[in-house]
Amino acid sequence: MFKRFWIFSVIALAVSTATGVYAGMFGFLKNYDVQLFPPVEGRLLHSGVPLEGVEIIREATYDEVKTETVVTDDDGRFFFPEWVTRSNTPGKPLIEVRLRQVVAAKYQGEYYILWQYTTDQIEPESVITELLSNLDCDITNEEIDHYFPIPDNPDFEHIIGSICRWETKS
């Protein structure tokens, strides 16, 4: 009797694994690629003059807070490569996931927000990728909220807080 039960259990486990039932039941254990940031490229100015040697901080809050820093070059330019992490959070049931992105400049003891954005998306979004590839920032600008349409959902907009400015298409 025990031997039949054991054989049946092994067969059931093999069938459920092969059919994907097992993967669906234990999807919360699977790790997913989560894009914290696409590549970030920009230029930091003060009244139109490039700022050299300024610390630029990139911070992502997903499962935990992570930061990276670079320093502007002699033309005020900076660059961060794409940033991807592995996480099992997307597979967890009943969890509302948020990704918070911040890029800030630390200049003469003050912080200037170049980018502040919160989303529930973990897949790359073309609008966000395009904006982050061209952070044109002057620290004399006032920080404002920018509104950009979401191509897949035109009734909603991305809201980005920033001192940077982007040319808008009329």
Check if the beta carbon of residue 133 is closer than 8 Å to that of residue 89.
no
Superfamily of domain 31-162: Immunoglobulins (2.60.40.10)
Check if the beta carbon of residue 90 is closer than 8 Å to that of residue 43.
no
Q: Which part of the chain has CATH 2.60.40.10?
A: 31-162
pLDDT at 149 over 90: no
Please tell me the predicted confidence (pLDDT) of residue 87.
77
Check if the beta carbon of residue 64 is closer than 8 Å to that of residue 86.
no
pLDDT at 13 over 60: no
pLDDT at 2 over 80: no
Convert the pLDDT of each residue in 103-115 to its tens digit.
999 999 999 999 9
pLDDT band at 47 (very low <50, low <70, confident <90, very high): very high
Paired tokens of 92? 């967890």
Which of 7 and 152 is assigned the larger pLDDT? 152
Paired tokens of 72? 């502007």
- The one-letter code for the residue type at 100 is R
Q: Is the dihedral of CA 37, 38, 41, 44 positive or negative?
A: negative
Q: In DSSP terms, which residues pair with 107 in a beta bridge? A: 110
119 to each of 14, 56, 60, how far by Cα in Å? 39, 22, 11
